Chains A and B, each alone.
Chain A
Amino acid sequence: MHPRRKDQHGWRKFKSAFISLSTFVAAVLVITPLGLVFFHLLVNGASSVSWDFFTQLPKPVGTPGGGMVNAIVGTLQLLALGSLIGIPVGVLGGVYLAEYGSARANSMLRFIADVLNGVPSITWGVVVYGMVVLRFKGFSAYAGGLALGLIMIPLILRTTEEVILLVPNGYREASLALGIARWKTIVHVVMKTASKGIITGILLALARIGGETAPLLFTAFGNRFWNHDLSQPIAALPLQIFTYAISPYDDWHRQAWAGALVLVIGIFCVNVLVRILTRERARSSA
């Protein structure tokens, strides 16, 4: 072989190896923040997560200890309120996109849902502030729940549609051939077959909005005490973490780390659950 050509071949191989290495380094750099955040959450938060953290109300500045039980319960209440709006609208809307309508109109709706998914979460906070807080003259759990519910709609709509499209057409035809009405076929055959996927989508949406802070800042507003009246401001874990993180007190910083650790563990538990659900689905369909 001509020597120069051989050189060139070596250069090409070197370039290929070099770029392969670079992409590997990029992948490592992308997951580095994940490792670092986890490491520091454990180092700074683990010592403050105690029995008190899950049972006590926040203590005033200067008093060590205290917990975030009201914020944890508040987040669960807000998620429940959000689900009341997000799940029915999202799931049924997804059913429509998968089962009815003309292809063209549906692709339009799909497009709008995707664009809505890109609307900054703080925008939803401002909108709900104008819709609810200004009108009823006060921050409330209802307003916070509404903001979270609206964010859930496009998320659940898209995942529901995708899993319903995966249901084989034969199921529908078999049911229709038995003379079962279309809507009963959809509810009892199609949605039942896709139920695991639909639940997966709902869980993912909950995990996503469970950590949302921006839309709650001026809707749910936060509360240092227990609140059982949903028309009053309510505490939420992400809000409490934010308030404590930007405060100048060391005690509160420790509490913020502890709250963050609890929140991340909660979100990851949901994600692991989703992974188990989807793995079973993949196995049963294989």
Chain B
Amino acid sequence: MVATAQMSIQVSAAPARMAPPSRFGDKAFEWLTLGMALVVILLVFLIGWQLARGSSLAIQKFGFRFLTTSTWDPVAEQFGALPFIYGTLVSSLIALLIAVPLSIGTAVYLTELAPLWIRQPLVSLVEMLAAIPSVILGLWGIFVMIPWLRDYPFPLLKKLFGWTPFFTGPIYGTSMLAGGIIIAIMILPIITSVSREILRSVPNLQREAAYALGSTRWEVTRIAVLSYARKGLFGAGILGLGRALGETMAVTMVIGNTPQIAASLFQPGYTLASVIANEFTEATTDVYLQALFEIGLVLFGVTIAVNLLAQLLLRTMTTSSTTRAVQ
């Protein structure tokens, strides 16, 4: 009885039914896009694998000494990366000291204090600064910034702070300090725009509550906005640090490219990225090339770690933008 009923339904349905829709197109498209999305994971492994493979001999030969010694002698095939690590850290630190206060100040001005009509044009200008290629900033650094620094601010710094070890010795112009300043200019836009996003995500209710208590504008900013956004602003700074560590062309053109560890910021320095840029095509022996690959590996490891930290800090602040369209 049941069987015949089913049969009759099937029979009656058959003429009206079209060919069943093929699921093939849907499946193929989903797999195709999935494959493309997975490329980002592949890329991380590709970078790690290529750098590790390219430097395996150097890692075996020098071991941990590579990070702690400061001889860089391609002729004797002795390689220690300490001066480059030092140069990268110091120049990035200078850059952060300059860029973080300026960027957060600008972000506060843009979100809290500036008249409305001026905000959008200012944001556009900051975006334009971000669009200037590193090599062009370096060109400007060599021919405009360095001569100016050498003639005016550096002698002044020497006069005022010459008693500290940081501002002593001869002034050449190309120096660790100049490198730090040019990196600061490079990372200003990113810290500014990320900080601005963070401050914009602070609920207005916070501000209104503070105003209602009779706070001045600055007190509202300090109590209601900055303390609320502290973690995110820290993340913005760390993101800037990640960019600073890997900044290459502009720094290479103004830092002086001398592998040394000197207390004075007027002395030339060298960074991890710069030594790769300068010496990679000159590396004549296998060990030399391997050592440069290992520098690349160190740089990659450090920037990945810093960026992970930055993204984790920022993620907690801006989860609202990642909601999906289709559930």
**What is the interface of chain A, defined by CB distance below 8 A to chain B?**
12-13, 15-16, 19-20, 22-27, 29-31, 33-34, 36-37, 40-41, 44, 88-90, 92-101, 103, 106-107, 109-116, 118-127, 129-131, 150, 153-154, 157, 162, 164-165, 167, 169, 172, 179, 181-184, 186-187, 207-208, 210-214, 217-218, 221, 238, 241-242, 245-246, 253, 256-257, 260, 263-264, 267-268, 271, 275
Those 4 A-B pairs whose CB atoms lie nearest each other, nearest first: A120-B246, A211-B133, A26-B105, A183-B29
How many Å from the CB of A19 to the closest CB on chain B? 4
Residue of A nearest to B27 (CB): A183
With A and B bound together, what is the CA distance between A107 and B322 in angstroms? 8
With A and B bound together, what is the CA distance between A110 and B242 in angstroms? 18
With A and B bound together, what is the CA distance between A263 and B134 in angstroms? 12
With A and B bound together, what is the CA distance between A129 and B47 in angstroms? 11
Which A residues are in CB contact (< 8 Å) with B218? 15-16, 19-20
Chain B's interface: helix, strand, loop or mixed, by majority?
Answer: helix
Q: Which of A15, A92, A208, A242 contacts B33 (CB 8 A)?
A: A92
Determine if B273 and A119 form an interchain contact, defined as CB atoms under 8 angstroms apart: no
With an 8 Å Cβ cutoff, the count of chain B residues facing the other chain is 96
29 pairs of residues in contact across A and B, judged by CB atoms under 8 Å: A15-B216, A20-B109, A20-B113, A22-B105, A23-B109, A24-B109, A27-B106, A30-B126, A34-B129, A89-B39, A90-B36, A98-B324, A99-B325, A107-B322, A111-B315, A121-B248, A122-B277, A123-B47, A126-B276, A157-B40, A169-B325, A181-B21, A183-B29, A187-B29, A214-B273, A217-B281, A218-B280, A245-B138, A264-B136
Which B residues are in CB contact (< 8 Å) with A256? 139
Determine if A118 and B216 form an interchain contact, defined as CB atoms under 8 angstroms apart: no
Determine if B40 and A154 form an interchain contact, defined as CB atoms under 8 angstroms apart: yes
Which A residues are in CB contact (< 8 Å) with B127? 271
Which B residues are in CB contact (< 8 Å) with A33? 129, 137, 185, 188
Is B25 located at the chain interface by the 8 A CB criterion?
yes
With A and B bound together, what is the CA distance between A124 and B128 in angstroms? 24
Q: Which of B125, B276, B292, B304 contacts A34 (CB 8 A)?
A: B125
Which B residues are in CB contact (< 8 Å) with A100? 30, 33-34
Most chain A CB within a 10 A radius of its CB, from B37, B122, B125: B37
How many Å from the CB of A14 to the closest CB on chain B? 9
With A and B bound together, what is the CA distance between A281 and B118 in angstroms? 22
Instruction: Tell me whether A126 and B136 are in contact in the complex, defined as CB-CB below 8 angstroms, given that A16-B219, A271-B131 are known contacts.
Output: no
Q: Which of A25, A29, A213, A245 contacts B133 (CB 8 A)?
A: A213
With A and B bound together, what is the CA distance between A157 and B43 in angstroms? 13
With A and B bound together, what is the CA distance between A90 and B21 in angstroms? 29
Is B192 located at the chain interface by the 8 A CB criterion?
yes
Determine if A118 and B310 form an interchain contact, defined as CB atoms under 8 angstroms apart: yes
How many Å from the CB of A206 to the closest CB on chain B? 12
Is B172 located at the chain interface by the 8 A CB criterion?
no
With A and B bound together, what is the CA distance between A19 and B166 in angstroms? 30
Residue of B nearest to A28 (CB): B106
Which B residues are in CB contact (< 8 Å) with A20? 109, 113, 217-218
- Other contacts beyond A30-B126, A40-B140, A92-B32: 17, CB < 8 A: A19-B218, A19-B221, A26-B109, A27-B114, A30-B189, A111-B311, A111-B315, A118-B307, A122-B246, A130-B293, A157-B40, A165-B325, A172-B325, A211-B136, A214-B248, A245-B143, A245-B253
Determine if B129 and A103 form an interchain contact, defined as CB atoms under 8 angstroms apart: no
With A and B bound together, what is the CA distance between A19 and B215 in angstroms? 14
With A and B bound together, what is the CA distance between A103 and B326 in angstroms? 10
Instruction: Tell me whether A31 and B40 are in contact in the complex, defined as CB-CB below 8 angstroms, given that A111-B311, A246-B253, A267-B131 are known contacts.
Output: no
Is B263 located at the chain interface by the 8 A CB criterion?
no
Determine if A98 and B136 form an interchain contact, defined as CB atoms under 8 angstroms apart: no
Instruction: Tell me whether A96 and B139 are in contact in the complex, defined as CB-CB below 8 angstroms, given that A26-B106, A119-B303 are known contacts.
Output: no
With A and B bound together, what is the CA distance between A23 and B218 in angstroms? 11
**B residues 113-171 in Cβ contact with A at 8 Å:** 113-114, 122, 124-129, 131-140, 142-144
With A and B bound together, what is the CA distance between A37 and B239 in angstroms? 25
Which A residues are in CB contact (< 8 Å) with B253? 242, 245-246
Is B41 located at the chain interface by the 8 A CB criterion?
yes
Residue of B nearest to A134 (CB): B54
Determine if A241 and B41 form an interchain contact, defined as CB atoms under 8 angstroms apart: no
Determine if B34 and A96 form an interchain contact, defined as CB atoms under 8 angstroms apart: yes
Instruction: Tell me whether A30 and B249 are in contact in the complex, defined as CB-CB below 8 angstroms, given that A119-B303, A172-B326, A211-B133 are known contacts.
Output: no
Determine if B113 and A23 form an interchain contact, defined as CB atoms under 8 angstroms apart: yes
Which B residues are in CB contact (< 8 Å) with A162? 321
Which B residues are in CB contact (< 8 Å) with A101? 34, 37
Is B46 located at the chain interface by the 8 A CB criterion?
yes
How many Å from the CB of A177 to the closest CB on chain B? 14
Determine if B134 and A211 form an interchain contact, defined as CB atoms under 8 angstroms apart: yes
Determine if B136 and A37 form an interchain contact, defined as CB atoms under 8 angstroms apart: yes
Determine if A214 and B249 form an interchain contact, defined as CB atoms under 8 angstroms apart: yes
Instruction: Tell me whether A257 and B139 are in contact in the complex, defined as CB-CB below 8 angstroms, given that A103-B324, A271-B127 are known contacts.
Output: yes
Instruction: Tell me whether A122 and B326 are in contact in the complex, defined as CB-CB below 8 angstroms, given that A31-B126, A183-B25 are known contacts.
Output: no
Which A residues are in CB contact (< 8 Å) with B108? 23
With A and B bound together, what is the CA distance between A171 and B30 in angstroms? 19
Determine if B243 and A118 form an interchain contact, defined as CB atoms under 8 angstroms apart: yes
Q: Which of A12, A22, A184 contacts B219 (CB 8 A)?
A: A12
Which B residues are in CB contact (< 8 Å) with A129? 280
